Structure formats: C-alpha cells, structure tokens
Structure 1
Amino acid sequence: MDFHRTVLVTGGSGFIGSHLVCSLVNRHSGWRIINLDFLDYCCSPRSLESIEDRANYTFIRGDVCNPRLVNHIFNTANIDVVFHLAAKTHVESSFECPSSFQQVNVDGTRVLLGAARQARHRLHRFVYVSTDEVYGPSADEAFDESSPMRPANPYATTKAAAEYLVRSYWDQFKFPVIITRSSNVYGPRQHTEKVIPRFLTLLRMNKKCTVQGTLPQSRHFLFVSDAVDAFLLVLERGAVGETYNVGTSFEIPITQLARELVRMVKNVPACEAKDWVEFVPERPRVELRYPIKSEKLRRLGWRTRVSWAEGIRHTVKWYQDNPDFWPDVGGDHGGARSEVATATE
C-alpha cells in the first residue's frame, strides 16, 4: 500500500497520544501512522486495540532517547510529520527524580530533532506538544504566547528546556517546528495518577478524594478530542516557527471538582459531598492556577466543541464501564495525594 504522508507520533500509547493516533488512523486511511512508545507505567497497549490491525498503523516499542533506533526510523520510513508527545509528566515524581525527567523530556527531544534534521527525507512539520506549566502559575494574569516562561517545578522546567531546543532548530536552520502549550487535558484512558481518574478510582474503592492543601487551587480543563483537533489544525494551518496556546475558558476549583465527581459517582446530595473530600499535606509551593489565552489558535479556526458537562459525563461513564483498565490507586506515583493533571504525556 502506498501512503502519501507518513506521520511519526512519539508517546502514541499514552493518554493524549493514543487519542491522537486513533484520530489520525481513522481520519487518514491514506497516511501511514507510526507510533513510537516505550510503554512506561502510564501507557497501555489497550488504548489502541481498536486500530492495532489497521493497514495504515505501525507500532514500534522503543525509547525516544535511543539515537540508533530513532535514526533508523527516520532513515527508513521517510517521515513527513512528527508529533512529539513522549514525555514524563508527573509533577510529584519530578521533584523526587528530576534527572529522569531531564533525560526523557530534554535529551529525548534533542535526539529526535537531530535525527529528523539529518534524515535524507525532508520533514514537513515537527509539532512539539508542550504545556501551560512552562509559564508558571498566575493569580490573575492570563498568559499569551509572548509571555515569559517561568516554570515552577522540575517537570515544567524540562518542558521549557525542550522548547528552547526546538526553538533553536528554527532559529538556526529554519527547521519547520511548531510548539503547542495546552491547558489540562482530560478524558477516557487517562492514567490514575492524574486528578480526575484518581478521584474516580478512589471513589470506586469507597475512599475519599484527597486534595493537597487548602489553598484555592483551580485548573482549566480541556477535553481530549478538542486538544487533538488543535494539534491537527496547527499541522495544516499553523505557521512554522510559531507557538500556539491550546486553552479553554472553563476553570474549576479542585475542591469543587472533587465534590462534583462525588455527587456523580456516589449520588449523594450536595450537603454530603464534602464528607468525601480529605485534605492532605501540600508541596512546599502550590501552583494555584495556569490561565492562558488562545486567541492566536482561534484565528486559525479552532473552537472547543465538547462542553465540561458533556465531557465529564462521558469520562465518568468510561471509567465506570472500564474499572480494570488501570490498576487501583497506589504505588510510587503520587501516594495518597491528588496530582493535578498535566497537559502532555
């Protein structure tokens, strides 16, 4: 079968990556979609069961930090487009082992960029999927793409460092890069270390939702299909060398999120929902909110299509229908605390 475009997605078995890969495979039967993924703890092969036998889909298990493997892929597959999502994303773990985040998020990006630029086949686009956390937290000001990066945790710092690498390839070589910075993304198949599936899993186990500290933390939540639409739009209409925020106006305090999920799952009245929320010790510094502006992306024609009410209903139902998709809460990736979900995989 001859394909007229070959797309490499790194981290394509992760939460956002799997939704992107499925969308690409289903929308573009004439494209070859290659998924390069290490299959870390937060990835599941089950995320891609619906497409694993499709003729235009190829899975390669491997490490984006492995230059021999990455160079081989670029020198044999004639890659036209890269969506680089592979990353370590758990904020709590980034404080405990920052070197592993440096290796995957920064060195992995360096390896990928080098292989893509040196490949015989000319690359059309290199889309780097970053996060709103590179801006750092803000009490009131909403960040646009020109705002300075002031990351406040090791995870966000490595994403900002990787962005500088990506940007340097545009500045020095006019390599066709585009950067996206997303709000918190949620939806089916997200790992239980992230806040919404974590709360849902705790409630399924008849345990309380645990929230770090009592400060008024809130987050903007974007449904995963809207994020995927944004990535595909910048591929087709985005300008090379540019950065695009992928944000939503919907914002909810984390305590309110917990109470809302309690009411949906436990079917209790509002006055009793607070009894299912427990406050636990917080990190030394708590990032209260990450507001961003997305007018630049909207000028390309992007709009969110899934409301919070629709998206959270769909997400809750998926976790209720798939209780064994992820192991129960626990282990070494967050302990008893809720982790506010990050934007990338």
Structure 2
Amino acid sequence: MEFSTNVLVTGGSGFIGSHLVCDLVNKHPDWRIINLDMLDYCCSPRSLESVEDKLNYTFIRGDVCDQCLVAHIFDTESVDIVFHLAAKTHVEASFLSPSTFQRVNVEGTRVLLRAAHQARRRPRRFVYVSTDEVYGSSRGQVFDEDSPIRPSNPYSATKAAAEYLVRSYWDEYKFPVIVARCNNVYGPRQFTEKVIPRFLSLLQENNKCTIHGTVPKSRHFLFVDDAVGAFLTILEKGSVGEVYNVGEGCEVHIVQLATQLVKMVKNVPDAELKHWLEFVPDRPCVELRYPISSEKLRQLGWRAQVSWAEGVRQTVKWYDNNRDFWPIPSSLKMPEP
C-alpha cells in the first residue's frame, strides 16, 4: 500500500506519544505512522493495542540515540514529518541521574536532527515537544514565547539545551523546525510517577497523597487530547522556526488537586480530607508555578475542548477501570514530580 505521508513519532509508546500515534493512525489512514520507541519503564505495549494491527502503523523498537538506526530510518522510510517526543521527563529522577537525561534529551535530539537534515529526502516539518519548565518558576509574570528561559532542574535544563539545538538548525540551515512548550499534560495511560496518576494509585492502595513541603505550589494542566490537538494545529498552521506555548490556563494548587482526588476516589467528608494528605520534605529547588500565555497558538485557531472537571472525571474513571494497567512500584511513595 502506498501512503501519501510518512510520519515519524519518537517516544510513540509513551503517554503523550501513544495518544498522538493513535490519533494519527485513526484519522489519517492514508498516512504511514512510524513509532520509534525503546519501551522504557514508563511505556506499556497496551497503550497501542488499538492500532497495532492497522496497516498504516509501524513500530520500531530502538534508541533515539542510536545513530546508525536513526540514520537508517531516514534513509529508507522517506519521512515527511517528525514529532520528537522521546525524552526522560521525571524531575525527581533528573537530580539522581542527570547524565541519563543529558544523553536522551540532548544527545538524542542531536542525533535525530542530524539524520533528518542529512537524509536524501528531508522532512518538511520537525516538531519538537518541549516543556513550560524551561522558563523556570514564575516571579509573578506570565511567560510568552519571547520570555527568557531559566531552567531550574536537570530535566528542564536538558530540554532547554535540546531546544537550542533544534532552533540552531533553523538559524543555520532553515531546517523546518517548530517548538511546542507544553503545560503539564494529564489523562488516561499516564505512568504512575506523575502527580495525578500517582495520587490516584496511592489512594487505590489506601495510602496518603504525599506532597512536597508546605509552601503553596501549583501547576497548569492540559488534557492529553487537547495537547494532541495542539500539536496537529502547529503542524498544519504553525510557522517554521517559531515557538508555541501549549496550555489552557488551568492552574490547580497541588493541595487542591490532592483533596479533589481524595473526594472522588474515597468519597469522604471534608473533615476527613486532611487525613489523606502527608507533607514531606521539599526539594532543594522549589518551582512554585509556570504560568504561560498560549495566545500565539490560539491565533492559529486552537482551543482546548476538555474542561478540567471533565478531564479529571475521565482520568479517574480510566484508572479505576484499569488498575492492573501499571504495576504499583514502591516509588509511588515519593513526593509528586
């Protein structure tokens, strides 16, 4: 079967990547979707069960840092579009093993860019998925795409470094890159090291939600379907060489998040909510909030479709119905990322 477009998704078996792959496979039967993933601990083969037998889906197990493999893919698959999502993302782990994050997030991006640029048939779009954490913690300002970046942990530092690599290919070669900086994405199938599924998994095991420190912290959340919609909008309407913030402005305090989930999972009266919260020592570097403006993306016509209430409802329901999807590691008792 001949396909009109060949799309390479790196990290396509991960949380966001699997949702993107499923969306592309189902909505574009005339496109061939190639998923390059090494199936790290935070990936489940079950995430892609619905598409694994589709004719327009191809899975390649491999490391994005493998120069020979990545070059071979670009030489043989005639890749038209790249969505680069493969990354190490857990902040807590980045303090413990910064070199691993450097290898995957920076070196992996360099390998992918070089192979894409040197391919006989170069991609017409290279979308790099970054994070709002590159801006660092807000000091009262709302970050737009021109705000300076001040990463404050090893994870965000490697994402910022990878961004510089990506944008250098635009500056030097006019290679058609676009950068998307995302809020915290949540939804079904997210691994249990992230804050919402970790709280849910703890509660399912009758454990308390552990929260870093007592200083009020908040995060901005975006439902995974809306993140996928944003990436596709950027692909179709975004300008090459540009950066786009991806967020809805849904800011939730971590304590508020924990109590909301306790109510939904445990159905306890308000007087008992505090008994399900446990405050633990804070990190060395505390990021209070990352407010971003997504007006630039909204001007392309994108709007979030899933409200916070509906997104949380869908997420809680999925984890309640899929308790055996992820194993319950002892690391769940770590503070939230």
The whole-number CA distance in structure 1 between the counterparts of 2:253 and 2:274 is 14
| 1:270 to partner: Cα distance | 1.8
Query: Residue type of the partner of 2:157?
Result: T
Could you tell me how far apart the structure 2 residues matched to 1:219 and 1:264 are? 20
Residue 170 of structure 2 aligns with an amino acid whose one-letter code is W
2:227 match: 227
Q: Is contact 1:194-1:338 (8 Å) kept? A: no
- Secondary structure of the 1:39 match is coil
The structural deviation recorded for 1:271 is 2.1
The residue number in structure 2 matching 1:266 is 266
CA offset digits 1:288-340 (Å, max 9, x no partner): 10000000000000001000010000000000000011111424xxx622323
Secondary structure at the counterpart of residue 178 of structure 1:
strand
| Partner AA of 2:85 in structure 1 | L
Q: Equivalences for 1:1-345 in 2 at 5 Å?
A: 1-331=1-331, 336-340=333-337
Partner Cα separation in structure 2 for residue 208 and residue 170 of structure 1: 47
Compare relative contact order (CA 8 Å, sep 6+) and give the higher one, 1 or 2.
1
Q: CA deviation at 1:122?
A: 2.4
In the comparison of the two structures, how many residue pairs are matched?
Answer: 337
Q: What is the match of residue 343 of structure 1?
A: none
Distance 1:39 1:18 in 2: 12
Deviations 1:220-265 (A, max 9, x none): 1100000000000000000000000001111111011000000000
C-alpha distance in structure 1 between counterparts of 2:222 and 2:208, whole Å: 25
- Where in structure 1 do 4 or more consecutive aligned residues deviate above 6 Å? none
SS at match of 1:141: coil
Per-residue deviation, 1:284: 1.3
Q: RMSD across aligned C-alpha pairs, in angstroms?
A: 0.7
Amino acid at match of 1:175: F
CA contact 2:192–2:201 (8 Å) conserved in 1: yes
Q: Residue 2 of structure 2: SS of its match in structure 1? A: coil
TM-score, scaled to structure 1: 0.97
Amino acid at match of 1:124: R
Q: Partners of 2:202 and 2:252 in 1: how far apart?
A: 20
Q: Identity across aligned pairs (percent)?
A: 71
TM-score normalized with structure 2 length: 0.99
Query: Given that residues 247 and 293 in structure 2 are in contact (C-alpha distance below 8 angstroms), is that contact kept between their aligned partners in structure 1?
Result: yes
Gaps in structure 1 of 5+ consecutive residues: 341-345
Q: CA deviation at 1:153?
A: 0.1
Mapped partners of 2:140, 2:185: distance in 1:
21
Partner secondary structure for residue 333 of structure 2: coil
